[in-house]
Amino acid sequence: MTETAYAKINLALHVRKRREDGYHELETLFAFVDAGDVLTASSAAQDSVRVLGEFAGGLDNPFDNLVAKALGALPRADGLAITLEKNLPVAAGLGGGSADAGAVFRMVKQHHGLPGDWHDRAAALGADVPACVDSRSCIGRGTGTELEPIDDSLEGTPVLLVNPRVPLSTGPVFAHWDGTDRGALPQGDAHTIALEGRNDLEIPAISLRPQIAGVLAALRGTSPVLARMSGSGATCFALFDSDTARDEAAVRIAAEHSGWWQMKGSLR
Protein backbone atom coordinates (compact mmCIF):
# COMPACT_ATOMS: atom_id res chain seq x y z
CA MET A 1 0.00 0.00 0.00
CA THR A 2 1.30 3.43 -0.92
CA GLU A 3 -0.34 6.73 -0.02
CA THR A 4 0.73 10.36 -0.47
CA ALA A 5 0.42 12.63 2.54
CA TYR A 6 -0.67 15.74 0.66
CA ALA A 7 0.84 19.02 1.83
CA LYS A 8 -1.77 21.20 3.53
CA ILE A 9 -1.87 24.93 2.95
CA ASN A 10 -4.12 27.58 4.44
CA LEU A 11 -5.20 29.79 1.56
CA ALA A 12 -6.70 32.09 4.18
CA LEU A 13 -6.48 31.95 7.98
CA HIS A 14 -8.51 34.34 10.12
CA VAL A 15 -7.94 34.24 13.88
CA ARG A 16 -11.09 35.47 15.63
CA LYS A 17 -10.44 35.16 19.37
CA ARG A 18 -8.67 33.30 22.13
CA ARG A 19 -10.81 30.61 23.71
CA GLU A 20 -11.13 29.83 27.39
CA ASP A 21 -9.56 26.41 26.78
CA GLY A 22 -6.35 28.09 25.60
CA TYR A 23 -6.93 27.43 21.90
CA HIS A 24 -7.97 29.99 19.30
CA GLU A 25 -11.20 30.35 17.34
CA LEU A 26 -10.28 30.11 13.65
CA GLU A 27 -11.81 30.40 10.21
CA THR A 28 -9.63 28.93 7.48
CA LEU A 29 -9.74 27.82 3.88
CA PHE A 30 -7.83 24.56 3.65
CA ALA A 31 -6.34 23.40 0.36
CA PHE A 32 -4.05 20.51 -0.50
CA VAL A 33 -1.16 20.13 -2.93
CA ASP A 34 -0.86 16.97 -5.02
CA ALA A 35 2.57 16.24 -3.52
CA GLY A 36 4.02 15.64 -0.07
CA ASP A 37 5.34 12.85 2.12
CA VAL A 38 4.96 9.26 0.90
CA LEU A 39 3.85 6.37 3.11
CA THR A 40 4.35 2.74 2.14
CA ALA A 41 2.73 0.04 4.28
CA SER A 42 2.48 -3.72 4.45
CA SER A 43 0.66 -6.10 6.79
CA ALA A 44 2.66 -7.16 9.83
CA ALA A 45 2.25 -8.88 13.16
CA GLN A 46 2.51 -5.53 14.91
CA ASP A 47 2.65 -1.84 14.03
CA SER A 48 6.02 -0.28 13.21
CA VAL A 49 7.22 3.00 11.71
CA ARG A 50 10.44 3.66 9.83
CA VAL A 51 11.32 7.19 8.71
CA LEU A 52 13.63 8.18 5.86
CA GLY A 53 13.98 11.08 3.45
CA GLU A 54 15.39 14.59 3.55
CA PHE A 55 13.57 15.64 6.71
CA ALA A 56 13.68 12.36 8.61
CA GLY A 57 16.04 13.98 11.12
CA GLY A 58 13.24 16.33 12.17
CA LEU A 59 11.44 13.41 13.79
CA ASP A 60 13.67 12.44 16.70
CA ASN A 61 11.49 9.55 17.86
CA PRO A 62 9.57 7.80 15.06
CA PHE A 63 7.21 6.24 17.61
CA ASP A 64 6.26 9.68 18.94
CA ASN A 65 5.17 11.03 15.56
CA LEU A 66 1.62 11.26 14.26
CA VAL A 67 1.94 8.16 12.07
CA ALA A 68 2.45 5.99 15.14
CA LYS A 69 -0.25 7.86 17.03
CA ALA A 70 -2.71 7.44 14.15
CA LEU A 71 -2.01 3.71 14.07
CA GLY A 72 -2.69 3.55 17.79
CA ALA A 73 -5.96 5.43 17.38
CA LEU A 74 -7.46 3.02 14.84
CA PRO A 75 -8.52 -0.52 15.81
CA ARG A 76 -7.51 -3.27 13.36
CA ALA A 77 -7.17 -7.04 13.32
CA ASP A 78 -3.54 -6.90 12.15
CA GLY A 79 -0.60 -4.54 12.25
CA LEU A 80 0.93 -2.26 9.65
CA ALA A 81 4.64 -1.79 8.97
CA ILE A 82 4.91 1.75 7.58
CA THR A 83 7.84 3.46 5.91
CA LEU A 84 7.50 7.23 5.91
CA GLU A 85 9.45 9.17 3.28
CA LYS A 86 9.62 12.60 4.89
CA ASN A 87 9.74 15.11 2.02
CA LEU A 88 8.00 18.01 3.80
CA PRO A 89 9.90 20.15 6.30
CA VAL A 90 8.88 19.83 9.95
CA ALA A 91 7.23 22.73 11.82
CA ALA A 92 6.62 24.45 8.51
CA GLY A 93 2.92 25.37 8.32
CA LEU A 94 2.20 22.50 5.92
CA GLY A 95 0.54 20.16 8.38
CA GLY A 96 3.17 17.55 7.59
CA GLY A 97 2.50 15.37 10.62
CA SER A 98 -1.25 15.85 10.24
CA ALA A 99 -1.01 14.95 6.55
CA ASP A 100 0.90 11.79 7.48
CA ALA A 101 -1.83 10.87 9.98
CA GLY A 102 -4.50 11.57 7.35
CA ALA A 103 -2.75 9.18 4.97
CA VAL A 104 -2.81 6.47 7.66
CA PHE A 105 -6.55 7.01 8.10
CA ARG A 106 -7.05 6.59 4.33
CA MET A 107 -5.00 3.39 4.31
CA VAL A 108 -6.98 1.91 7.17
CA LYS A 109 -10.27 3.04 5.61
CA GLN A 110 -9.45 1.29 2.34
CA HIS A 111 -8.54 -2.05 3.89
CA HIS A 112 -10.39 -2.18 7.21
CA GLY A 113 -12.90 0.65 7.28
CA LEU A 114 -12.96 3.44 9.86
CA PRO A 115 -14.88 3.48 13.15
CA GLY A 116 -17.95 5.70 13.29
CA ASP A 117 -16.16 8.16 15.56
CA TRP A 118 -13.15 8.52 13.27
CA HIS A 119 -13.53 12.32 13.15
CA ASP A 120 -13.20 12.59 16.94
CA ARG A 121 -10.22 10.23 16.88
CA ALA A 122 -8.59 12.36 14.17
CA ALA A 123 -9.29 15.62 16.01
CA ALA A 124 -7.70 14.19 19.16
CA LEU A 125 -4.44 13.84 17.22
CA GLY A 126 -4.40 17.47 16.02
CA ALA A 127 -6.63 20.25 14.73
CA ASP A 128 -5.58 19.77 11.08
CA VAL A 129 -5.93 15.98 11.03
CA PRO A 130 -9.68 15.76 10.19
CA ALA A 131 -9.21 17.97 7.11
CA CYS A 132 -6.16 15.95 6.10
CA VAL A 133 -8.10 12.67 6.06
CA ASP A 134 -9.97 13.64 2.88
CA SER A 135 -7.29 16.15 1.80
CA ARG A 136 -9.75 18.19 -0.25
CA SER A 137 -10.42 21.92 -0.12
CA CYS A 138 -12.80 22.83 2.69
CA ILE A 139 -13.59 25.47 5.29
CA GLY A 140 -12.43 24.85 8.85
CA ARG A 141 -13.94 26.56 11.87
CA GLY A 142 -13.56 26.30 15.62
CA THR A 143 -10.00 25.11 16.18
CA GLY A 144 -10.05 23.97 12.54
CA THR A 145 -11.83 20.66 13.17
CA GLU A 146 -15.36 21.81 12.26
CA LEU A 147 -15.36 21.24 8.51
CA GLU A 148 -17.64 22.59 5.79
CA PRO A 149 -17.51 21.69 2.10
CA ILE A 150 -16.35 24.24 -0.47
CA ASP A 151 -16.42 24.25 -4.26
CA ASP A 152 -13.54 23.00 -6.41
CA SER A 153 -12.97 26.28 -8.29
CA LEU A 154 -9.23 26.16 -7.45
CA GLU A 155 -8.66 22.50 -8.35
CA GLY A 156 -5.67 22.14 -10.68
CA THR A 157 -4.23 25.58 -9.86
CA PRO A 158 -0.41 25.50 -10.15
CA VAL A 159 1.27 26.17 -6.82
CA LEU A 160 4.83 26.68 -5.60
CA LEU A 161 5.80 26.12 -1.96
CA VAL A 162 8.93 27.77 -0.55
CA ASN A 163 10.47 27.51 2.92
CA PRO A 164 13.66 29.30 4.06
CA ARG A 165 14.64 26.17 6.03
CA VAL A 166 13.88 27.66 9.42
CA PRO A 167 11.52 25.71 11.72
CA LEU A 168 8.73 27.61 13.43
CA SER A 169 6.51 26.04 16.07
CA THR A 170 2.83 26.95 16.16
CA GLY A 171 2.61 27.86 19.86
CA PRO A 172 4.98 30.84 19.85
CA VAL A 173 3.32 32.28 16.73
CA PHE A 174 -0.14 32.24 18.31
CA ALA A 175 1.38 33.69 21.48
CA HIS A 176 2.58 36.69 19.44
CA TRP A 177 -0.83 37.30 17.81
CA ASP A 178 -2.08 40.71 18.98
CA GLY A 179 -5.60 39.51 19.84
CA THR A 180 -7.34 41.76 17.31
CA ASP A 181 -10.33 40.26 15.49
CA ARG A 182 -9.98 41.53 11.92
CA GLY A 183 -13.16 39.93 10.68
CA ALA A 184 -14.62 36.78 9.20
CA LEU A 185 -13.70 34.93 6.03
CA PRO A 186 -15.09 36.58 2.90
CA GLN A 187 -18.22 35.16 1.31
CA GLY A 188 -18.06 33.43 -2.07
CA ASP A 189 -16.35 30.55 -3.80
CA ALA A 190 -12.90 29.24 -2.92
CA HIS A 191 -11.22 31.50 -5.46
CA THR A 192 -12.84 34.62 -3.97
CA ILE A 193 -12.11 33.61 -0.38
CA ALA A 194 -8.46 32.97 -1.19
CA LEU A 195 -7.93 36.28 -2.96
CA GLU A 196 -9.88 38.44 -0.51
CA GLY A 197 -8.81 36.61 2.65
CA ARG A 198 -5.67 37.00 4.72
CA ASN A 199 -3.39 35.13 7.14
CA ASP A 200 -3.55 36.77 10.55
CA LEU A 201 -0.45 34.88 11.66
CA GLU A 202 1.87 36.37 9.02
CA ILE A 203 2.89 39.40 11.11
CA PRO A 204 3.59 37.48 14.34
CA ALA A 205 5.43 34.79 12.38
CA ILE A 206 7.62 37.36 10.63
CA SER A 207 8.41 38.94 14.00
CA LEU A 208 9.86 35.57 15.05
CA ARG A 209 11.39 34.55 11.71
CA PRO A 210 12.16 37.65 9.58
CA GLN A 211 13.26 35.35 6.73
CA ILE A 212 9.56 34.82 5.93
CA ALA A 213 9.29 38.39 4.68
CA GLY A 214 12.09 37.67 2.22
CA VAL A 215 10.32 34.56 0.93
CA LEU A 216 7.07 36.48 0.42
CA ALA A 217 8.90 39.27 -1.39
CA ALA A 218 10.64 36.77 -3.67
CA LEU A 219 7.37 35.00 -4.49
CA ARG A 220 5.49 38.23 -5.10
CA GLY A 221 8.26 39.30 -7.41
CA THR A 222 7.32 36.46 -9.79
CA SER A 223 3.85 37.97 -10.51
CA PRO A 224 1.70 35.18 -9.04
CA VAL A 225 -2.06 35.28 -8.71
CA LEU A 226 -1.56 35.14 -4.94
CA ALA A 227 1.36 34.76 -2.53
CA ARG A 228 0.83 34.22 1.19
CA MET A 229 2.24 32.40 4.19
CA SER A 230 0.62 29.06 5.07
CA GLY A 231 -0.61 28.31 8.57
CA SER A 232 1.79 29.50 11.23
CA GLY A 233 4.73 29.47 8.78
CA ALA A 234 7.46 29.53 7.77
CA THR A 235 6.40 28.00 4.41
CA CYS A 236 4.86 30.40 1.91
CA PHE A 237 2.95 29.56 -1.26
CA ALA A 238 2.24 31.21 -4.59
CA LEU A 239 -0.61 30.39 -6.97
CA PHE A 240 -0.09 30.85 -10.71
CA ASP A 241 -2.16 31.00 -13.88
CA SER A 242 -0.11 28.30 -15.61
CA ASP A 243 2.42 25.55 -15.04
CA THR A 244 4.89 27.53 -17.13
CA ALA A 245 4.63 30.59 -14.90
CA ARG A 246 5.05 28.43 -11.80
CA ASP A 247 8.06 26.59 -13.23
CA GLU A 248 9.74 29.83 -14.29
CA ALA A 249 9.22 31.21 -10.79
CA ALA A 250 10.73 28.07 -9.28
CA VAL A 251 13.83 28.34 -11.45
CA ARG A 252 14.25 32.02 -10.65
CA ILE A 253 13.90 31.55 -6.89
CA ALA A 254 16.23 28.54 -6.90
CA ALA A 255 18.87 30.60 -8.71
CA GLU A 256 18.54 33.56 -6.34
CA HIS A 257 18.07 31.58 -3.11
CA SER A 258 19.72 28.21 -3.57
CA GLY A 259 19.42 27.31 0.12
CA TRP A 260 15.64 27.54 0.25
CA TRP A 261 13.44 24.43 0.07
CA GLN A 262 10.74 24.36 -2.56
CA MET A 263 8.09 22.02 -3.94
CA LYS A 264 6.00 22.35 -7.10
CA GLY A 265 2.52 20.97 -7.59
CA SER A 266 -1.13 21.69 -8.23
CA LEU A 267 -4.08 22.07 -5.90
CA ARG A 268 -6.24 18.97 -5.57
CB 14 within 8 A of CB 200: yes
Residue 234: asked if its preceding bond is cis (omega within 30°), the reply is yes
- How does pLDDT run across 81-104, given as a tens digit for each residue? 999 999 999 989 999 899 999 999
The pTM score is 0.94
Query: Measured between alpha carbons, how far is 176 from 263 in angstroms, rounded to an integer?
Result: 28
- How does pLDDT run across 45-78, given as a tens digit for each residue? 999 999 999 999 877 665 568 999 999 999 998 9
- How does pLDDT run across 142-190, given as a tens digit for each residue? 999 999 999 999 999 999 999 999 999 999 999 999 999 999 999 999 9
Give the pLDDT confidence score for residue 63 in this predicted structure: 56
What the chain holds in terms of domains, given with CATH numbers, is 2-14+32-135 (3.30.230.10), 158-266 (3.30.70.890)
Which helix (H) or strand (E) is 41 found in, with range? strand 24-44
Give the active site residues: 8, 128
Give the pLDDT confidence score for residue 65 in this predicted structure: 86
Q: What value does the mean pLDDT of the chain take?
A: 95
Predicted confidence band of residue 141 (pLDDT cuts 50, 70, 90)? very high
